[in-house]
Amino acid sequence: MKALKWTLLIVIVISGLLAGVFCVTWMQDELALRKSYLVVSNFNHEIITKGDTGKTKLVALTFDDGPDPQYTPKVLEILKKYQIKATFFVVGENCADYPEIIRQEIKAGHEVENHTYTHPDLVKDRAVSTEEEIVRTGQVIESITGRKPCYFRPPKRLFTSDTVKIAESSGYQLVLWTIGVEHRLSKTPEKMANRVIKAAKPGIIILAHDGRLNRTKTIEALPLIIKGYQKKGYRFVTLQELLAYAPPK
């Protein structure tokens, strides 16, 4: 009986230690996302989550999953109204279906980047060719805009070391984000906006979506976010401008 008790005690202690390791690892990952670059464990590749603008109040507003004929034109109208530039990470098959929207984005001075061709899970979906997803999307974007994209963002932030290697070998830098507009705890446009505004810091990359799901709340939150940042003295720039900025010494 004593042996059984000691065995149970050892199991409990070991379980607690493992839980602690998991918690610390999770916290380290969360803290890493707040740095200029997130270096993924064992990947040995730098993955951008924000820019380094020093104290200069520059931020990049980015959109995933478009173009969408219902939501993207509304986003473009809002951006035009507030005279700001943004970056669109687009899905290749959507580009093929709605090339005119891509042309409108480029004409307005926005940036168009790569978000795969079919928006797959690049970790679980073994039937998917990551290289084909990236290369095919780049070809579609270039055929419409005349410019090859240089940044790649994996859907839902799901990727492996192979994803990073393939992206880099195809000429892309992998870019994530600092904070997202859509969040499970933000149920209203006001709460969505307040959460993003509170996170304001020079160099951050904001993620929003203009496709795939119902983005009505995002559209309503967008003007609130823009006005909130502008009130704090921030200027919105494209991702390329943000990452190319050299803060004064």
What residue segments make up the domains of the chain, in order of their start? 27-244
Exposure b/e, 77-111, CB count within 10 A at least 16 = b:
ebbeeeebbbbbbbbbebbeebbebbebbbeeebb
Q: Give me the active site residues, please.
A: 64, 209
pLDDT score for 151: 98
pLDDT score for 46: 78
Express each pLDDT in 194-242 by its tens digit.
999 999 999 999 999 999 999 999 999 999 999 999 999 999 999 999 9
Residue 41 has pLDDT above 70, yes or no: no
Q: What CATH code would you report for 27-244?
A: 3.20.20.370
The residue that leads in pLDDT, 20 or 245, is 245
Express each pLDDT in 87-141 by its tens digit.
999 999 999 999 999 999 999 999 999 999 999 999 988 778 999 999 999 999 9
